[in-house]
Chains A and B, each alone.
Chain A
Amino acid sequence: MISCGEAVRHLWEFLDRGLSDENQRAVEEHLAWCVRCCGELEFARSLRQLLRTTAEGGVPDDVRNRLSRFIDDLDHID
């Protein structure tokens, strides 16, 4: 048996499958009956998704131009 606090502390690792078998099972068992922690789990999943899908964002034009020229010039270095 683990407490809600303990379960919540390990949710991201749980989603990463980064816990020991024993801890992974303990969190699983906790989630089987604890509605509140299931909510936490769903939210942790959404937060990870938010990070993963954060767009690359553009490269500002002046930076892109300078870096493109830098790349073009790479054949002149020795």
Chain B
Amino acid sequence: MVLTASDTAALQQLARDELPGLYALARRLAGRNDAEDVVQEALLRACQAFGSLRDHQAGARWLRVILANVWRDRVRKDLRAPRELPVDDVERFSLYRTLVEEDPFPYSDSLHLDFLSAFTDDDVDTVLDRLPPRYRAPLVLRYVEGFATAQIARMLELPLGTVLSQLHRGRRLFEREMWNYAAECGLLPDQGGARAGEREGGGPRWSA
């Protein structure tokens, strides 16, 4: 389909405006290595479909849906695992309770918020990156990008029930990886990690 010159110009402007957001989504879905390629393919597809975009105000959203479709087509078989993994202890993992039990900030009266504020945006990205794609994608599309679950089901061409259970498990996995990552990367004071000594007033558990 050939676009008129003004349509092409409008699409180019939209693509330039949305580039950081598109790249961020591609990086979270596909990883750093494939992100650029996914963006390119999405833009090519957008050229073909631009005629079907009625509301140009909705262009940002529309481009993200196309990008998610491109990625889905690449990983289709990974998204539909033959069957769900067996229920294991991740189902019962609660980051909230783990924090209460392990008490990594023993002198804090806002333990849970202290834990979360130890994470930079890069840390959160890395944690997301550790999840298998079929759990990461619904989580990213739902909670980072704000798509509704029914929309995600259409984008990934999965039954709604599958998306809901992937979201459910994805949240648990995300919580567990937050905990593992914090422990491994020295985000917790008593782990003696690189970033742990920055706190003031340390007690015996983390004398730096």
Contacts and interface: CB of A to CB of B under 8 A. Distances in A.
Interface of A: 5, 8-9, 12-13, 16, 18, 39-40, 42-44, 46-48, 50-52, 54-59, 63-64, 66-68, 70-72, 74-75, 77-78
Interface stretch (B38-46, B53-61, B76-84): B38-46
Given A50-B119, A55-B121, A68-B16, A75 B5 contact: yes
B131 interface: no
Given A43-B95, A46-B113, A51 B11 contact: no
A73 to B, nearest CB: 9
Contact of B43 (A8, A50, A66, A71): A71
Contacts of A54: 121, 124-125, 144
11 contacts: A13-B168, A18-B149, A40-B94, A55-B121, A57-B125, A64-B19, A67-B36, A67-B39, A67-B40, A68-B16, A72-B12
Interface of B: 2, 5, 8-9, 11-12, 15-16, 19-21, 23-24, 27, 35-36, 39-40, 43-44, 47, 92, 94-97, 112-113, 116, 119, 121-122, 124-125, 139, 143-144, 146, 149, 164, 167-168, 171, 174-175
Contact of B20 (A8, A39, A58): A58
B12 to A, nearest CB: 5
B143 A74 contact: no
Contacts of A58: 20
A71 B8 CA distance: 10
B143 A71 contact: no
Contact of A67 (B19, B116, B167): B19
A77 B143 CA distance: 35
A78 B5 CA distance: 12
Contact of A59 (B20, B96, B119, B175): B20
> Which of A42, A48, A68, A74 neighbours the largest number of chain B CB atoms within 10 Å of its CB?
A74
Given A51-B139, A67-B36, A59 B125 contact: no
A70 B40 contact: yes
- In order of increasing CB-CB distance, the 6 nearest A-B pairs are A51-B143, A56-B24, A43-B96, A55-B121, A75-B8, A59-B23
